[in-house]
Amino acid sequence: MPSPRCRAPGFRPFQARLLQARLAASACALAFILAPGHLAAQEGAAAGMATAQEQIDLAQPRDPAETNQPALELPQEPQPALSAQASGGDAIDFEAQTLSFDEETDTVTAAGNVVLRSGDRSVRADNVSWNRQSGEILATGRVRFVDENGNQLYTESVTLTDEFETGAMEDLLLALRQGGRLAAQSGLREADGTITLSQAAYSACAVTTPAGCDKSPSWRITAERVSYDPQSSEVRFRNAYLELFGARILPLPGLAIRTDGGAVAGFLVPDLRVSESNGVEVSGSYYWRLAENRDLTASAYLFTGAPPMASAQYRQLADRGAFQITGYATYSSRSSTFTGEPTSERDPRGYLFANGKFQFTPEWSLTGSLRVASDRTFLRRYDISRDERLRSMVELERVDRDSYLSIAGWATQTLRLGASQGQVPLALPAIDYRKRLADPLLGGKVELQANSLAILRQDGQDTQRAFARARWDLRRITGLGQVVQLTGLLRGDVYHSDENFLTPTALYRGEPGWQGRGIALAAVDVLWPLVGEFAGGEQVFTPRVQLVATPPIRNLAIPNEDARAIDLEDSNLFALNRFPGYDRVEDGVRLTYGFDWQLRRPGWEVKSTLGQSFRLARDLGILIDGTGLSERVSDVVGRTEVRFRDFVKFTHRFRLDKDSLAIRRNEIDATVGSARTYAEIGYLRLNRDITEVEDLQDREELRAAVRVAFLDYWSVFGSGVFNLTDQAEDPTFASDGFEAIRTRLGVAYQDDCIEMGLTWRRDYISNGDAERGDTFQLYFSLRNLGFR
């Protein structure tokens, strides 16, 4: 048992005395009592002492740690118990080792592990005296009061009414059910049920370590007066200050928290940042709890190098869904859309983001998202987002067991300097319907699909498309264990396009006017899983062969809007159509072969995939050189994954040239370490030598990150993104083969109730008025206070 000298020093001066002397226990025992897993067990009668009404409690063993007393064998005679009627009408049950009644003064006295219960509330104490004439109940000695919400009050002495309402208290500790503790020198319960505490301190931090030793809380809130309203579950502080590691650093006017985990109105902790574009930035926010289902957060941003900015976020939960709207607004100079040079005049600038989803019935739902920026550099300059395009959409869906319907619209705003917004498509409407049917003849599955899409451009090619498709699949397992799947597909397409000459890449244009085509496909796919023992574990070797046949298709007559970026990978090796969309379909006859291999042993898992395809006819019409599919024999693609417990994760994806075995794609993602100390690396090189189209340029990139934990709660971290592309890989690049894009360094502290840190980031590329340079940010978040 821990030494009685252990105490919780985080609530000095009176708090330490409360946690040690007034509870007559060490901080180790207090931590056991307040552990979340024990809260429910502490409501009601003490273990081993049942009331006359609840004899089932007799089966519970007595827990010495709960009473902070050595385990003793109590006498076997029945425990004294008394059930009396209070003036309010509710019965109060007394349980104790000894009970006595003074008829002259009409006083009931209980001693030794006393338990009083009335409804969902209970009191435990060493001694209790109840004056039945005045209705006053005095509980003394290691008192614990549990209210109907599960919050627990610890004190040395408390006065209650016979309606089981608390009165005056001294040196008390209030353990909230949702986490956090309030300690105070004195407290008083008002007539309306409000508990007022004087000279109080609050923290959500533990006051003992897992080993049971003293621990000062990382942070706490001190206040002259604290008001706790059990009806609204709110705790409000007056003249409150935030203390970090014992140092008072910040006043918190109007601070309020909820004991039920809900949010309340108040100021949030400000953020501090220093950046090259805006100078020193200080931001603060105020949160309004408008209703149980609505809230609003308003923020202000002050900069030394830019005009101020304001933002607001509104959120609402409705009966059938939820939505949120976020907006930013300022008035400052901006960059030219095409040159990136700053303009001399100031303009209104901002960003609007809204999204939501509504479920009208179990089948019908509506989803929407809106993202709009005033100009192309606003988001980067104010470090809101680094996206190069903003997509807005609306989609009405109906989903049931055997059918799916989607009616959607998509709009995109480009944020790339020099890119033409008029060439960016608007997709409206996009309709897709699918219906699954059971095959009554062969027992397979049939899927019917109808699809329609209209793409509009202000300064580019317009395309409309519609098609109908029927697909049949039959999957069987042979007696030898082979998995065989047969597939048949029929599809008819109708296209219309105009102003095709405005599409820069001739391969994507198609023929103007009305065009049609028919598609037929047949495929057989065979897998044969073979299981056996290997290297002390179990291995599964699965060879796979697929044959796909398609008659010639009028691909080049059709505009290509959604099937441009084709590249042979392990993920699409066995796809019926290696193109990513509907506008291009592989034709001819091809045979694809490969295998999957998997090894599992204790702590280890290894997976590997390798494959290639062979085409009977060579077709350079739509499969250009460099994609890995333009020749009869394709390149070789594969993937390897290695995992060792949760310590090592390694993935390698590759594509090898079929003739020279040169690496055309080399992609590595690896993580080594624990959750606190780890290293990550990501590497990608695309060496495809493609010059005909803009969607498949060569790239080489390195990403790295590392975090090292030290002491108990501290860590240092760093990360970087580097462009390794040189002019030999892409003549449009001025890079010499090593160009840093972004680096980051920082130090962080994280324990059970606080997270804070300082980060330094350097951007090496300017984007208009989002200038390259250094950014410093100080951040922290506190558990149970809703900060950040």
Averaged pLDDT in 10-residue chunks for the chain of 788 residues: 40 36 29 29 31 30 36 38 55 82 86 86 88 84 83 84 70 78 82 81 81 80 87 84 86 77 74 90 90 94 94 96 97 73 77 97 97 93 93 97 97 92 94 93 92 95 97 95 96 96 90 96 97 92 97 93 89 94 93 97 95 84 83 95 96 94 94 95 88 73 96 94 81 73 94 89 85 88 64
Give me the amino acid identity at 772: R
CA distance 290 to 263: 10
> β-strands 483-498, 513-527: how paired?
antiparallel
Whether the Cβ atoms of residue 366 and residue 352 lie closer than 8 Å to each other = no
Query: How does 146-185 read in b/e, with b if 16+ C-beta sit within 10 Å?
Result: bbeebbbbbbbbbbbbbebbbeebebbbbbbbbbbbbbbb
Q: How far apart are CA 183 and CA 19, in angstroms?
A: 9
Q: Provide the 3-class DSSP secondary structure of residue 378.
A: helix
Q: From CA 453, how far away is CA 466, in angstroms rounded?
A: 6
Q: CA 722, CA 735: separation in Å to the nearest integer?
A: 11
Q: How far apart are CA 253 and CA 266, in angstroms?
A: 8
The two structure tokens encoding residue 41: 């067990």
Q: DSSP states of 753-774 as a string?
A: SEEEEEEEEEE-S-BTTB--EE
The tokens 């300064």 sit on which residue?
Answer: 459
Q: Provide the terminal-to-terminal Cα distance of the chain, rounded to the nearest Å.
A: 40
Q: What's the confidence (pLDDT) of residue 8?
A: 36
Residue 346 to residue 737: CA distance in whole angstroms? 38
pTM of the model: 0.76
Using alpha carbons, list the distances in angstroms from residue 326 to 289, 378, 379, 778, 779: 16, 15, 13, 23, 22
- What size, in residues, is the chain? 788
Question: Where does residue 142 fall: left (phi above 0), alpha (psi -120 to 50 degrees), or beta otherwise?
Answer: left
Contact criterion met (CB below 8 Å) for 10 and 216: yes
- Which residue matches tokens 């001739």? 506
- The two beta strands, 739-750 and 663-673, are unpaired
SS3 for 71-110 is: CCCCCCCCCCEEEEECCCCCEEEEECCEEEEECCCCEEEE
